[in-house]
Chains A and B, each alone.
Chain A
Amino acid sequence: NAGVTQTPKFQVLKTGQSMTLQCAQDMNHNSMYWYRQDPGMGLRLIYYSASEGTTDKGEVPNGYNVSRLNKREFSLRLESAAPSQTSVYFCASSSVPQDEQFFGPGTRLTVL
């Protein structure tokens, strides 16, 4: 079992460019999450998907969109990247919303 995988590991964008961060889990989990981590801020929830077919905004959704492609995959899209979106992005999954969340290794994004 790979657990939660994320691609890419690193990415540099110019302001205004778009990109999609990919996340997949092989644990047959129903719920998936996207967080961003900034120095001194801990992790903040961007979007989550409690089950396949549903997505909801978290604490900091502005500038992002998500797609729950199927039960395994949950992608995060930046339509027009801004320097304020420079961060480390983590995907996580859990069996059901209140269960333990397992995190991927993260994507380190820099927006110039």
Chain B
Amino acid sequence: GQQLNQSPQSMFIQEGEDVSMNCTSSSIFNTWLWYKQDPGEGPVLLIALYKAGELTSNGRLTAQFGITRKDSFLNISASIPSDVGIYFCAGQRDAGGTSYGKLTFGQGTILTVHP
């Protein structure tokens, strides 16, 4: 089945550094989502993007919905130790027909922050 190409696969950074990760697809999505997964937990939604070109912030997080609707990126500024986890992008097509709002996930970016 189709998956999104997410990069990088892992990152090791120092506390205070900025982080950037991105997701690309060969097909169009109408919604892009970014999730974070803490160890032993389920993913939690960080940011949702609904419009091509949209730039949205949530605290130290900023995400953008690519103009072509085939990509998205997530930036984390001034990283802190609790940013550690796995970050997933996900694309969603509109509900209706056979799509039913199903999510397609990227492979994840494992983030490690050294104090």
The one of B4, B101, B106 that contacts A98, using a Cβ cutoff of 8 Å: B101
Question: Across the interface, do A48 and B100 meet the contact criterion of CB distance under 8 Å?
Answer: yes
Contact B107 A48 (CB under 8 A): no
The answer to whether B95 and A98 touch across the interface, beta carbons within 8 angstroms, is yes
- Number of interface residues, chain B, beta carbon within 8 A: 26
Contacts of B41 in A (CB 8 A): 105-106
Are the C-beta atoms of A96 and B107 separated by less than 8 Å?
no
Give B92 Cβ to nearest chain A Cβ, in Å.
7
Q: A48-B100, A100-B45 known; A42 and B106 CB under 8 Å? A: yes
Residues in chain A near residue B105, CB distance under 8 A: 42-44
For window 1-59 of A, CB contacts with B under 8 Å fall at 4, 31, 40-45, 48, 50, 56, 58-59
> Does B65 interact with chain A (Cβ within 8 Å)?
no
Contact check, A41 vs B102: say whether CB atoms are below 8 A apart: no
Q: Which of A42, A92, A103 lies in contact with B3, CB distance below 8 A?
A: A42
Known contacts A41-B3, A41-B107, A98-B92, A103 near B44 by CB under 8 Å: yes
CB 8 Å contact bits of A73-109 with B (1 = contact, 0 = none):
0000000000000000010101011111111111000
Whole-angstrom CA separation of A59 from B48 in the bound complex: 23
User: Does B94 belong to the interface (CB within 8 Å)?
Assistant: yes
* Residues of B76-115 whose CB lies within 8 A of A: 88, 92, 94-95, 100-103, 105-108
Q: Is the CB of A4 within 8 A of B101?
A: no
* Interface set, chain B 1-57, CB cutoff 8 A to A: 1, 3-4, 6, 9, 31, 33, 40-45, 48
The CA of A59 and the CA of B100, in the complex, are separated in Å by 13
Instruction: Assess whether B95 is in contact with A96, with CB atoms less than 8 Å apart.
Output: yes
Check A94–B101 contact: CB distance below 8 A: yes
Residue contact A45 to B42, C-beta cutoff 8 Å: no
The answer to whether A103 touches B42 (Cβ under 8 A) is: yes
Query: What are 13 A-B interface contacts by the 8 Å CB criterion?
Result: A40-B107, A42-B3, A42-B88, A43-B105, A45-B102, A48-B100, A50-B100, A56-B100, A59-B1, A105-B40, A105-B41, A106-B40, A106-B42
Residues of A within 8 A of B (CB): 4, 31, 40-45, 48, 50, 56, 58-60, 90, 92, 94, 96-106
